Amino acid sequence: MASEHRAEEVDDGPLADQQKVSIARAEADAGPPSSSSPPAPVPEINISSFAFPEKASETDREEVIRQVLAACTSVGFMNVVGHGVPQPIIGGLLATLSEFFTSPVEQKEKCVSSPQNLIHRGYTYYQEESTNALFNRPGPRDLREAFSFGPADHQNGRPFGSNTYPDFIPDFRPCIDAYYAEMERLEKVMLEIFTLALARATRQALDPGYLQQQIQPNRGLVKAVWYPACEPSAGDVHLEAHSDWGSFTILLTTAPGLEVCVKSEEGVAQWRSVPVIPGAFTINVADQLACWSNDRFVSCVHRVANIASNQPRLSVPYFSMNILPLDSVETDEKKVACICAPGERPKYEPISVRAYLKRNFEMLKVTDKK
Ligand SMILES: O=C(O)CCC(=O)C(=O)O
Ligand SMILES: [Fe+2]
């Protein structure tokens, strides 16, 4: 479906270059839909030596860094276990979100984002967004609806906008707030591992808290997405090819459907399915971390396709990115420089996170509701 948004309507600039890289890659890699795809080489990595450092040896931690570095520099995706997120918090979140999404749209639409938020929070209608429009491609809108939430509190006295809590579901607020807090904890753990992996790859002595400090003030966004059950149709693409825009994504999913675009040994792009491992989070490198790594890390193009048609699919990505305090101004935003090996040339200017995200969010949203 054609979109009102066209790439030529937005300003060009250094950030647009970053986006163009991603567009070109997604367009080149987005092959025709197929009815199934073979499994992708996504490793399972146990990070308990970082989640519970008091119990870990240096050798265990070194092994995790080695595995994460190998994943980041190949497919850019990994299935992470040993993360320490309590199962009751995960189970509570999934039950609460299922109840929300199966409620009548007249109830759900009471939770449309309040305009005071810089980045959309609350309910997004079915087919309200179009990843194809973002990439200026023809093709359908995203076959999903969403509910987004961010931090409920302020950080160092700075406001980050507000969540919407539906009043028709008891215990909605404690469930999503508890999950958000766990995601922020896991995000810190992963940032430490990514920093140490980059230190190893570039032979730089980086402080383990380096990336965490660089991206402050940093609060991410959870965007729970619901793909309703639909008529079976071989090769349906529910969310078209894209890369994620933040630094990385922590995905909780309930069923297969996520596919990554990987190159065969002959250099041919192929869609491969990401295995679903109960209790694991699928974690992937996104555009900003790939740039900070000077392109050592891969922000892999992915999509959602071939999901079982007879039941809805719920997945919950946490986008580690900067949703920006409401009172922030251009000048107090951190820009992160590429981490390079000695003598290596940085491929990117330090990135303005705000402009990159703002531009993408504006292009993603089509104006008329379905
Ligand atoms: O639904 C999924 O499994 C993945 C969704 C995704 O890639 C995204 O929202 O960026
Ligand atoms: Fe994604």
Tell me whether residue 12 is in a domain: no
Show the DSSP H helices in the chain as ranges.
Answer: 14-29, 48-51, 58-72, 87-101, 105-108, 131-134, 172-202, 210-214, 287-292, 353-364
Residues with CB under 5 Å of ion ligand 2 are 244
Q: Please answer whether residues 360 and 134 qualify as being in contact, where contact means their C-beta atoms are separated by less than 8 angstroms.
A: yes
First to last CA, the chain: 12
Q: Ligand 1 within 6 A of 240 CB?
A: no
Q: Is residue 3 assigned to a domain?
A: no
Residue-range definition of the domain harbouring residue 25: 17-367
Cis before residue 208, ω within 30 degrees of 0? no
Q: Which ligand is nearest to the CA of 364?
A: 1
Q: Is residue 40 included in any domain, yes or no?
A: yes
Q: How far apart are CA 321 and CA 324, in angstroms?
A: 9
The pLDDT, as a whole number, for residue 165 is: 92
Ligand that lies nearest to the alpha carbon of residue 26, given by its number in the listed order: 2
Supply the pLDDT for residue 215.
80
CATH number at residue 165: 2.60.120.330
Is any ligand 1 atom within 6 A of the Cβ of residue 258?
yes
Tell me how crowded residue 228 is: count the other CB atoms within 10 A of its CB: 14
Does ligand 1 have an atom closer than 6 angstroms to the CB of 225?
A: yes
Residue 1 lies in a domain: no
Whole-number Å distance, alpha carbon 293 to ligand 1 midpoint, is 23
Residue-level pLDDT, tens digit, the chain, 370 residues: 223 222 333 344 454 555 555 555 555 555 555 666 788 999 999 999 999 999 899 999 999 999 999 999 999 999 999 999 999 999 999 999 999 999 999 999 999 876 667 678 899 999 998 888 877 778 889 999 999 999 887 776 777 788 999 999 999 999 999 999 999 999 999 999 999 999 999 999 999 999 998 887 778 899 999 999 876 565 678 998 889 988 999 999 989 999 998 887 787 788 899 999 999 999 999 988 998 999 999 999 999 987 877 889 999 999 998 777 777 766 666 678 899 999 999 988 886 666 677 667 776 665 444 3
Angle at 183 between CA 206 and CA 288, to 5 degrees: 50
What are the angstrom distances between the C-alpha of 50 and each of 14, 58, 65, 216? 36, 10, 10, 21
145, 101 contact by CB (below 8 A) = yes
The total of structural domains in the chain comes to 1
Distance (angstroms) between ligand 2 centre and the Cα of 204 equals: 30
- Within-domain flag for 76: yes
Do residues 354 and 1 lie in contact, with contact meaning Cβ atoms separated by under 8 Å?
no
Distance 57 CA to ligand 1 centre (A): 35
The residues, ordered by sequence, that sit 6+ positions from 266 with a Cβ below 8 Å of its Cβ are none
Buried b (16+ CB within 10 A) or exposed e, 128-145: bbbbbbbbebebebbbbb
ipTM score of complex = 0.99
Q: How far is the CA of 317 from the centre of ligand 1 (A)?
A: 6
Rounded Cα distance, 364 and 231, in Å: 26
Task: Give the sign of the dihedral formed by CA 130, CA 109, CA 236, CA 39.
Answer: positive
**Is the residue at 2 inside a domain?**
no
Q: What is the pTM of this model?
A: 0.90
Which structure tokens are listed for 322? Answer: 């900067």
Asked whether residue 221 is domain-assigned, the answer is: yes
**302 ligand 1 Cβ < 6 A:** yes
Ligand closest to CA 239: 1
Note the maximum CA span of the chain. Answer: 59
Evaluate whether residue 72 is within a structural domain: yes
Does the Cβ of 253 fall within 6 Å of ligand 1? yes
